[in-house]
Amino acid sequence: MADTKIVAPKEGPATQFWNWLTETQVWTSVFRHDRPNTDRNRVLVMLSNVFLHLHPVRIRKSGVKLRYTWCMGGLTFFLFLSLTLTGLLLMFYYRPTLEYAYTDIVGLREHVPLGIMREMHRWGAHAMVITVWLHMFRVFMTGSYKPPREFNWSVGVIMLVLTLLLSFTGYLLPWDQLAIWAITVGSNMARATPFLGHEGPGAQLLRLGDVPLIHAADDARFALLGGTFVGEGALLRFYVLHCVGLPLVIAVLMAVHFWRVRKDGGISGPM
Amino acid sequence: MGFLKGLANSIADPRLFFLLAVGALLLAVWKRETVASNGVGYGLLGFLGLFFLFGTFDANFRLIVTKPDNVPIVGLIFLLLFFVWYSIREGVLNDRRIAAGNGPIEKAESDRVWVWPDLVYTELISLILCSVVLIVWSIFLKAPLEQPANPANTPNPSKAPWYFLGLQEMLVYFDPWLAGVVLPSLIIVGLICIPYIDKNPKGNGYYTFVERKAEITIFLFGFAVLWASLIVLGTFLRGPNWNFFGPFEFWDIHKLAALTNVDLSEYIWVRGLRTGLPQQWYIREIFGILLVLFYVFALPVILAKGLFKTYYEKLGAPRYYVATFLFLMMMSLPMKMLARWIFNLKYIVHISEFFFNI
């Protein structure tokens, strides 16, 4: 036995470096497990990483197939993250006032060489609406809303509405002709809300003697726009909702949605 | 060339466009075994691609299709066609497996794989591809920026953001309180209700058509025909004054469209009974009111005893009445469209005294 020599296979410099790196004190303090090349470590990598632990450790084979999922839910989430990032950067350069809103957008276009943040934000937003629809379409066509996932479908429908509202509120912010008239057309609908819009059926019935309770300056549209037309009040309102209010709500609902995917038995599949 | 353009313009007329969309859906569902073949799917996509390629040589077509905010909707048309076809195909393939006693493909794939590396790498690759697409798209297509906002200068046409153009198209047939408030709310409520109405335990977690015929056909009708095709119509085919323009037609602001729409009350009192319209609204509109009450309250009961008897027995009264109400509300749009096209019907109930028009 004394003569036997164990010869380790020759490893390339990259592998040697990788092996050295993953054994340093810094690395092992960040990742509390060995490289994920054994079953045990594949479990540990999922359980010990706060981002990865949204996932289960193992998943149905059909659940990783594009054939089945179309990846639309994942793309929606990724687009949301990308919109958060590009939106944050845009907020540095944009002031939501009648005086500056339009010129700030012009500035972004004219003064930033090769700038594509606004493009990425706008096209990402359009793409997100489409991926949300296709995700819901896939969920419907695979019957994945059926028990036990009924509630998560409902949460998803609310997020669909929030996605549309996020896109709608963002549409106003460039403050060009396209923006205010699209929002004017859209918000004019609120005038006709039954009972709560001043041109809606039943609104005339809500009156104290001769004093109408619902008129142009206090109806549903006024609440939406902060005014009787799309002006300064609407711009600020839409800005705050777009950048703070709606993202907060949808982030909470996303947490609920992902949590429930796990709690309702992971990705859907035949019983 | 001119003939083809003229043909495309006449096919795009809302009446023909809508009826063809309904026909295409019914055909796709009925002949799904044929539709499921790759030849049909890629053939349709190729045909659509050729149509757009052909169209780009036309100035009017190019103008409307390359408007920056319309580009995603061109993408949507292709994606939607592909995914509707693809989901039907997957359903057909699974139905064949089930009929042969093999169970759906998802059943065969129900053993577990490791999330690391199988899923996380798939996610990483999707993320990179998505970023690349987004960045390339952003480099080549500038975000639109028009003249500064001017409340005194109304563009013609004024259009809502593209995802609401189906609702704006509904304004042709319904007043804002229905098209803009009540029906959208019912869409949201209806979507939320789907899992609580649908008691069919089959088809949970895999593609199928045979096991869920009615659900899938109704959903495809609502999503692909009503929602999506009305968006396409509202985006590409509605020009100044919300008049219809074919894809190869110049948006002439002076185009005249005959407005000869007639209320139901006028049809009955003036043209039918040959008297004037009564003074009081409740007498004038009594027929319309009765018709609406019948549609909302009596028709579900009658259907429960007749055409929908099996559904009534399967679902039970509460689920049945909610489902039928939502279904009838959805069908009110195509019915109003048909009434408009055939009879030039304007309002079924027209009580302008209370802004209450149906």
Query: Tens digit of pLDDT for each residue in B234-270?
Result: 999 999 989 899 999 899 888 887 777 888 888 888 8
- My answer on whether B104 and B210 are in the same domain is yes
Q: With contact defined as beta carbons under 8 Å apart, do B180 and A189 qualify?
A: yes
> A55: nearest CA in chain B?
B115
Q: Which residues contact A95 (CB under 8 A, 6 or more apart)?
A: A101, A104
Partner-chain contact B126 A74, CB within 8 Å: yes
Residue of B nearest to A45 (CA): B116
Task: Please indicate whether, in this complex, the C-beta atoms of A175 and B69 are within 8 angstroms of each other.
Answer: no
Residue B187, pLDDT above cutoff 90: yes
Do residue A150 and residue B176 have CB atoms under 8 angstroms apart?
no
Please tell me whether the peptide bond between A148 and the residue prior to it is cis, using omega within 30 degrees of 0: yes
Find the residue in A nearest to B224 (Cα).
A137
Contact of A80 with chain B, judged by CB distance below 8 Å, is answered with no
Res. A32 pLDDT band, cuts 50 70 90: confident
Domain co-membership, B230 together with B321: no
pLDDT of A231 over the 60 cut: yes
Same domain, yes or no: B281 and B233 = no
- A176·B145 Cβ contact <8 A: yes
CA distance B184 to B333: 12
Distance from CA of A90 to the nearest CA of B (A): 14
Which residue in B105, B134, B167 is closest to A123 by CB distance? B134
- State ipTM: 0.95
Percent of chain B with pLDDT over 70: 100
Q: What is the pTM of this model?
A: 0.94
Q: What's the pLDDT at A2?
A: 63
Architecture of the A66-263 domain: Up-down Bundle (1.20)
Which of A126, A176, A191 lies closest to B148 in CB terms? A176
Do B92 and B14 belong to one domain?
Answer: yes
Q: Are A175 and B148 in contact (CB < 8 Å)?
A: yes
Q: In angstroms, what separates the C-alpha of B353 from chain A's closest C-alpha?
A: 9
* B49 and B101 in a common domain: yes
B278 and B213 within one domain = no
Regarding whether B225 and B283 lie in a shared domain, the answer is: no
The identity of residue A148, as a single letter, is: P
Residue numbers of B between 163 and 192 with CB closer than 8 Å to A: 163-164, 167-168, 175-177, 179-182, 188, 191-192
In chain B, residues with a C-beta closer than 8 Å to the C-beta of A146 are 195, 198, 200-201, 203-205
In a domain, B44, yes or no: yes
User: Which residues contact residue A157 at a Cβ distance below 8 angstroms, ignoring those fewer than 6 apart?
Assistant: A136, B188, B191, B192
- Distance between B275 CA and the closest CA of chain A, angstroms: 28
**Residues B268 and B220 placed together within one structural domain of the fold:** no
| Segment B171-181 mean pLDDT | 92
Report yes or no: B104 and B96 within 8 Å, Cβ to Cβ: no
- Residue B91's Cα: distance from chain center in Å? 22
Q: Collect contacts of A46-49 with beta carbons under 8 A, ≥24 apart.
A: A46/B115, A46/B116
CA B183/CA B259 separation, integer angstroms: 25
* A62 CB within 8 Å of a chain B CB: yes
Interface size, chain A vs chain B, as Cβ–Cβ contacts under 8 Å: 271
Q: Verify that B338 and B222 share a domain, yes or no.
A: no
Which chain A positions have a beta carbon within 8 Å of B206's beta carbon? 62, 142-143, 269-270
Q: For residue A168, what pLDDT is reported? A: 95
Domain count, chain B: 2
Does A39 touch chain B if contact means CB atoms closer than 8 Å?
yes
Please check whether residue B135 touches A, CB under 8 A.
yes
pLDDT of B210-227, one tens digit each?
999 999 999 999 999 999
Contacts of A126 in chain B (CB under 8 A): 69, 72, 162
d(CA B166, CA B224): 11
pLDDT digits (tens, 9 = 90+) for B145-159: 999 999 999 998 999
Q: What angle do CA A242, A195, A163 make, to 5 degrees?
A: 20
Nearest to B149 among A82, A157, A176 (CB): A176
Considering the domain boundaries, does residue B217 fall inside one?
A: yes
Task: Look at B109 and A102 and tell me if their CB atoms are within 8 Å.
Answer: no
CA–CA separation, B168 and B170 (whole Å) = 5
Predicted pLDDT at B178: 94
* B-proximal residues of A, 120-139, CB under 8 Å: 120-124, 126-127, 129-130, 133-134, 137-138
B53-78: string of b/e by CB count within 10 Å (b at 16+)? eebeebebbeebbeebbbbbbbebbe
Is residue B140 less than 8 Å (CB to CB) from chain A?
no
Please identify which residue in the block is written with the tokens 């040697």. A16
Closest residue of chain B to A177, computed from CA coordinates: B149
Are residues B233 and B291 located together in one domain of the fold?
A: no
What is the per-residue pLDDT for A216?
A: 87
B230 and B314 assigned to the same domain: no
Tell me whether B195 touches chain A (CB under 8 Å).
Answer: yes
- Structural domain includes residue B102: yes
- Using the predicted structure, report yes or no on whether residue B24 has a pLDDT greater than 70: yes
How does residue A230 score in pLDDT terms, banded at 50, 70 and 90? Answer: very high
Three-class secondary structure assignment of chain A: CCCCCCCCCCCCHHHHHHHHHCCCHHHHHHCCCCCCCCHHHHHHHHHHCCCHHHCCCEEEHHHHCHHHHCCHHHHHHHHHHHHHHHHHHHHHHCCCCCCCHHHHHHHHHHHCCCCCHHHHHHHHHHHHHHHHHHHHHHHHHCCCCCCCCHHHHHHHHHHHHHHHHHHHHHHHCCCEHHHHHHHHHHHHHHHHCCCCCCCCCCHHHCEECCEECCCCCCCHHHHHHCCCCCCHHHHHHHHHHHHHHHHHHHHHHHHHHHHHHHHCCCCCCCC
Query: What integer pLDDT is reported at residue B77 of this predicted model?
Result: 94
- Print the SS3 string covering B8-43: HHHHCCHHHHHHHHHHHHHHHHHCHHHHCCHHHHHH
Contact list, B167 vs chain A (CB under 8 Å):
189
Task: Please state the rounded mean pLDDT for residues B325-336.
Answer: 95
Q: Which token pair is B211?
A: 């096991």
Average pLDDT over residues B157-177: 92
CB contact under 8 A, B181 and A200: yes
Contacts of the segment B253-262: beta carbons below 8 A, 24+ positions apart: B253/B156, B260/B344, B261/B340, B261/B344, B261/B345, B261/B346, B262/B343, B262/B344, B262/B345, B262/B346
Q: Is the model's pLDDT at A1 over the cut of 60?
A: no
pLDDT tens readout for residues A139-197:
999 999 999 999 999 999 999 999 999 999 999 999 999 999 999 998 988 999 999 99
pLDDT band at A10 (very low <50, low <70, confident <90, very high): confident
Spatial contact of B205 and A268, defined as CB atoms under 8 Å apart? yes
Do B51 and B87 share a structural domain? yes
Domain range for B41: 2-108+163-170+206-242
pLDDT at B320: 96
Q: What's the mean pLDDT when you consider all of chain A?
A: 92
Residues A80-106, mean pLDDT to the nearest whole number: 95
Domain assignment of residue B303, yes or no: yes
Residue B162: list chain A partners with CB under 8 A: 126
